Structure 1
Amino acid sequence: MNMRTSTSTAEKSPMPTGEAVASRAGEPAAGRRRTPSSEMVRRFLGDVALPLGLYYGLRLAGVNQWLALVVSSVVPVVQLIRRLAIERRVSGTTLFTLSITVCSAAVTLLTGDPRLLLARESYFTAILGLWMAGSVPTRRPFVYMATVKLLPEATAREWEAKWEGISGFRRAMRVMTAAWSAAFLLDSVARVVMAYTLPVDLVPVLSAALLIAMLVVVVRLGKVYGKRQLAG
């Protein structure tokens, strides 16, 4: 189960929001762009709540752990297909998600071990963390690129102007991208540990709780840091 996740009016501060995290749905129609908070809720429902509910529903129905994990992991695949249909093109983030999905499917077909299926979630967060780290020294770090796509047009233009003219803003974007990278790498390690040390049925919900807690902490600290950087 791919589990991916803030404030709605943080548009004026350099602040990563919602699942500005991995892949992104196509751009909404003009004048109807999603707010960061609405995107966060949508991502949470589609990428976390639905797969989690499906897994535990199947377990209550008597389905074994391996099959329940496999079936619930179909949800992210459906989400990906939907995004491809909306975008009508293969963007970099979509290609990234597609590659992870294919690798995940390969692991599913090659093993009957539910713990290995649980551990595979760490692949996504590890690669995502490394991808973020790699974007830190580039012209547009991950946090900036991911967040600006969710902002209203006027606010997005303000961010672009800040990026070009304020060195503190650029530094804040890079530092926060590095923080998100570290958080996802730690999440990856924690998922592997949980997958092989805890009861299988406990791992999915704890993994979701870990991801949500991690994102909340990084978002809150990032907002405080960003405001201080611009105020300084």
Structure 2
Amino acid sequence: MAAARTSSTGHRLPWMLQLLIDVALTPVVYFGLQGRFGLTLMQVSLISIAAGGVWTGLTLAVTRKVNAVSLSVIGGIAIGAALTGITGNPQFGVAKDSFYTGAFGTALLVSMLAARPLMFYLVRPFATQDNDPALVAEWNQSWSSPLFRRCMNVMTLVWGVGMLIEAASRIVLVMTVPLNTANALSPVLTGVALVTLMTWSGSYGRRAGEARERAESATQAPAESAA
């Protein structure tokens, strides 16, 4: 799986640092400004959203790529601020993250019923140097391999279940611990879930690629001997 082994470095930060900033920047600004400078909760929300928006814009300018993780965090805080303002219940400000992580997990699991699971498309830009045409063609051709299909299905299943667990865990936090504690733990929960799933995906993807190469070599050896 040559395509899956390649990666683009360019101007990117190390992915762990990138992910940390994506997940933490907006919540850090949000919680850091609460109770300071006479700002209202709505003003704090708007400033934190603006901080995340600036970071996302800088990332887009440098990498020419939309920062989906940062956008999802910004969107979550925006939704939470809106729901808090409408309902007057600050618990929505924390629980809102479970709406989109739960929806993402559900979409992943449902996609397993389609011709190709969602992870096939989500992993492809990372495995093909931001959609290099030759590598994309190789990636698409890989779908003919049963081992490759199994790898994509397993990744989709694990990410889907993982995102649903993350969403359910946050709801439990909101219902069982003080709101300030839930506020502080919510972005940590997301970060831990994403780092765990991405680390596992990298390890599993490498092992699956090596297994596929061994299987293909074993298949080619008899044919070459016969020739």
TM-score by length of 2: 0.66
1:186 corresponding residue in structure 2: 165
Question: Partners of 2:81 and 2:116 in 1: how far apart?
Answer: 31
Question: Partners of 1:194 and 1:48 in 2: how far apart?
Answer: 18
> Which of 37, 40, 54 is matched with 2:29 structurally?
54
2:84 corresponding residue in structure 1: 108
State how many pairs are aligned: 197
1:149 corresponding residue in structure 2: 125
Question: Partners of 1:132 and 1:222 in 2: how far apart?
Answer: 15
Q: Mind listing any 5+ residue stretches in structure 2 that lack a counterpart?
A: 213-227
SS in 2 for 1:114: coil
Question: In structure 2, do the counterparts of structure 1 residues 199 and 215 end up closer, same or farther at CA, with 3 Å as the change threshold?
Answer: same
The structure with more helix, counted as a fraction of residues: 2
Shift of residue 156 of structure 1? 3.9
Shift of residue 76 of structure 1? 8.5
SS in 2 for 1:138: coil
Residues 129 and 184 of structure 1 are in contact (CA less than 8 Å); yes or no, is this contact kept in structure 2?
yes
Kindly provide the CA deviation profile for residues 87-144 of structure 1, in whole angstroms up to 9, marking residues without a partner as x. xxxx9x8xx9699788656423312222121111111111111111121232332222
Moved more, 201-210 or 125-134: 201-210
Question: In structure 2, do the counterparts of structure 1 residues 215 and 185 end up closer, same or farther at CA, with 3 Å as the change threshold?
Answer: same
SS in 1 for 2:34: helix
Moved more, 193-202 or 62-71: 62-71
Higher relative contact order (CA 8 A, sep 6+): 1
Q: Mind listing any 5+ residue stretches in structure 1 that lack a counterpart?
A: 1-9, 18-30
TM-score by length of 1: 0.65
Kindly provide the CA deviation profile for residues 152-175 of structure 1, in whole angstroms up to 9, marking residues without a partner as x. 125444322322x31111111011
Instruction: Kindly report the root-mean-square deviation, in angstroms, between the aligned alpha carbons of the 2 structures.
Output: 4.1
> Which of 201, 210, 225 is matched with 2:180 structurally?
201
In structure 2, what residue type is equivalent to 1:55?
Y
Question: In structure 2, do the counterparts of structure 1 residues 134 and 118 end up closer, same or farther at CA, with 3 Å as the change threshold?
Answer: same
Residues 66 and 113 of structure 1 are in contact (CA less than 8 Å); yes or no, is this contact kept in structure 2?
no
In structure 2, what residue type is equivalent to 1:59?
Q
Residues 80 and 94 of structure 2 are in contact (CA less than 8 Å); yes or no, is this contact kept in structure 1?
no
Question: Partners of 2:42 and 2:78 in 1: how far apart?
Answer: 18
Question: Partners of 1:136 and 1:120 in 2: how far apart?
Answer: 26
Larger radius of gyration: 2
Shift of residue 226 of structure 1? 3.3
Kindly provide the CA deviation profile for residues 58-102 of structure 1, in whole angstroms up to 9, marking residues without a partner as x. 12516689547633663488479959x98xxxx9x8xx9699788
SS in 2 for 1:113: coil
In structure 1, what residue type is equivalent to 2:107?
W
Alignment of 1:92-131 (within 5 A): 104=80, 106-131=82-107
2:223 corresponding residue in structure 1: none
